[in-house]
């Protein structure tokens, strides 16, 4: 039986030559990602389900979030697929803002949505996650499945362990995410996390509250103090 290349990577040791080829593939993905996203500007990454269709209340909410993020001056970044990822990009694009994505190759190919100014399609999930976090000053989790949970907890872990700054983390949909709130309360009670860790999360239904939270904890706290705009290099054929 033929083994999918990504599965083979995690099977344990292979020949030194094969392992070296893998390292170069990963390096190539990072270089392509850095090239594609170097000038996207300060981003907010929006996570969410690819399975929720247009017309659903969560789709409409996510589209509004994308639009309001543009009004604050952010570029909207997503995982590039359909559903709520598309909704975030659509809200940004239709409001005249910048809309970008890190798409992923899947066995059943995920086609990037149509509301993107620029995007990159990646083979490896871990490369994709690095890029989603690298350019973002806040993270918004809309309702989603295990992929959304993976990205959400990655963001929280990076902040908790001080690998990135204490950027805002927002969960939109109080009813949907209430179990996460209960879980964090339980973890605080058991002493496995601190109350400060729980305070990383804002769980709300209000777009206005989210934007005020981002203005205070991302825009004013980080971007206005550390805003450095990279300049394109003519030698590298770069454009803004």
Q: What's the pLDDT score for residue 223?
A: 72
Q: What's the pLDDT score for residue 1?
A: 44
* Per-residue model confidence as pLDDT tens for the chain (240 residues): 455 667 788 888 989 999 999 999 999 999 999 999 999 989 999 999 999 999 999 999 999 999 999 999 999 999 999 999 999 999 999 999 999 999 998 877 578 999 999 999 999 999 999 999 999 999 999 999 999 999 999 999 999 999 999 999 999 999 999 999 999 999 999 999 999 888 889 999 999 999 999 999 998 888 765 556 677 777 777 676
| Confidence (pTM) | 0.92
According to DSSP, the residues that pair with 141 across neighbouring strands are 47, 171
d(CA 37, CA 35): 6
Q: What is the DSSP letter of 154?
A: H
Burial of 222 (0-12, 13-18, 19+ CB in 10 A): middle
Q: What's the pLDDT score for residue 225?
A: 58
Domains, the chain, in order of start with CATH, read 5-223 (3.40.50.450)
d(CA 53, CA 49): 9
* Token pair in block for residue 184: 């964090």
Place of tokens 């976090």: 133
With beta carbons less than 8 A apart as the criterion, state whether 35 and 138 touch: no
Q: What's the pLDDT score for residue 100?
A: 97
Q: What's the pLDDT score for residue 55?
A: 94
Task: For the beta carbon of residue 73, count every other beta carbon within 10 angstroms.
Answer: 13
With beta carbons less than 8 A apart as the criterion, state whether 45 and 79 touch: no
Counted residue by residue, the chain has a size of 240
d(CA 20, CA 150): 28
């Amino acid at each position: 039986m033929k083994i999918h290349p990504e599965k083979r990577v995690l099977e344990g040791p292979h020949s030194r030559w094969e392992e070296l080829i893998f390292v170069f593939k990963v390096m190539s993905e990072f270089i392509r990602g850095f090239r594609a996203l170097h000038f996207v500007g300060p981003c907010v990454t929006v996570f969410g389900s690819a399975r929720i269709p247009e017309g659903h209340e969560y789709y409409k909410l996510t589209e509004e979030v994308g639009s309001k993020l543009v009004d604050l001056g952010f570029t909207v970044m997503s995982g590039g697929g359909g559903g709520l990822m598309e909704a975030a990009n659509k809200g940004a694009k239709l409001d005249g803002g910048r809309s970008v994505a890190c798409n992923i190759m899947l066995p059943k190919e995920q086609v990037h949505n149509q509301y993107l100014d620029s995007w990159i399609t990646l083979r490896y999930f871990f490369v994709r996650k690095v890029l989603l976090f690298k350019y973002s000053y806040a993270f918004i989790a809309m309702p989603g499945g295990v992929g959304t949970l993976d990205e959400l907890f990655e963001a929280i872990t990076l902040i908790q362990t001080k690998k990135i700054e204490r950027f805002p983390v927002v969960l939109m949909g109080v009813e949907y995410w209430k179990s996460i709130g209960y879980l964090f309360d339980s973890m605080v009670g058991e002493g496995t996390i601190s109350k400060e860790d729980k305070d990383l999360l804002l769980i709300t239904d209000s777009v206005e509250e989210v934007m005020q939270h981002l203005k205070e904890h991302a825009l004013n706290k980080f971007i206005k103090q550390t805003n450095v705009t990279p300049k394109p290099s003519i030698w590298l054929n770069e454009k803004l």
